[in-house]
Amino acid sequence: MTSRQQDIQLPALEEIVGQLAEYVSLPSISRSAGIDTMQETAEWLAHRLAFAGGRVEPTAGFPVVRAEWTAGPDAPVVLVYGHYDVQPTGSLDEWVTPPFDLAADVQAGEHVLRGRGVSDDKGPVLLVVRLAEAFLAQTGSLPLTVKFLIEGEEEIGSPNLAAYVAEHQADLACDLVISADGAQWRPGEPSLSIASKGLVSMDVVVRGADSDLHSGRFGGTVANPARALSTLLASLHDESGRVDIAGFYDGVDDPSPERRAEIGRVPFDERDYVIGLGIPAVYGEVGFSTLERLWERPTLEITGISSGGKYSVIPHIATAHLSARLVGRQDPDLVAAAVERHLREHRLAGVTTEVIIDAARVPAYRIDAGHPAIRAASAALNHVYPGEEVLLAVIAGTLPASTLFEQALGAKTLFFSFSTSDENLHAPNEFLRRGRIHEGMRAWERLWWLLAEGPHRLERNPCRLGHP
- Determine the 3-state secondary structure of 103 from DSSP: strand
Q: What is the CB-side half-sphere exposure of residue 192 using CA atoms within 13 A?
A: 29
Give the span between the Cα atoms of 390 and 261, in whole angstroms. Answer: 17
Helix (H) or strand (E) holding 196: strand 191-196
From the list 430, 420, 344, 431, the residue with the least C-alpha distance to 189 is 420
Regarding pTM above 0.75, the answer is yes
CA 422 to chain centre: 13
- Starting at the edge strand that comes first in sequence, how are the strands of the sheet with 365-366 ordered? 365-366, 191-196, 391-395
Q: Residue 5: what pLDDT?
A: 62
**Which residues make Cβ contacts (< 8 Å) with residue 180, sequence separation at least 6?**
80, 81, 82, 121, 124, 125, 127, 128, 416, 417
| Sequence-ordered strand ranges (E) for 278-396 | 299-306, 313-314, 317-326, 352-362, 365-366, 391-395
Q: Residue 397: what pLDDT?
A: 84
Question: What are the residue ranges in the chain where pLDDT is below 70?
Answer: 1-6, 466, 468
Q: What is the pLDDT of residues 24-70, one digit of tens each?
A: 999 999 999 999 999 999 999 999 999 999 999 999 999 999 999 99
User: Domains in the chain, start-ordered, CATH in brackets?
Assistant: 13-196+364-464 (3.40.630.10), 198-252+298-361 (3.30.70.360)
Give the span between the Cα atoms of 168 and 412, in whole angstroms. Answer: 18
Q: Residue 3: what pLDDT?
A: 42
**Which residues make Cβ contacts (< 8 Å) with residue 430, sequence separation at least 6?**
99, 114, 115, 116, 117, 118, 119, 120, 423, 424
Q: What is the pLDDT of residues 199-212, one digit of tens each?
A: 999 999 999 999 99
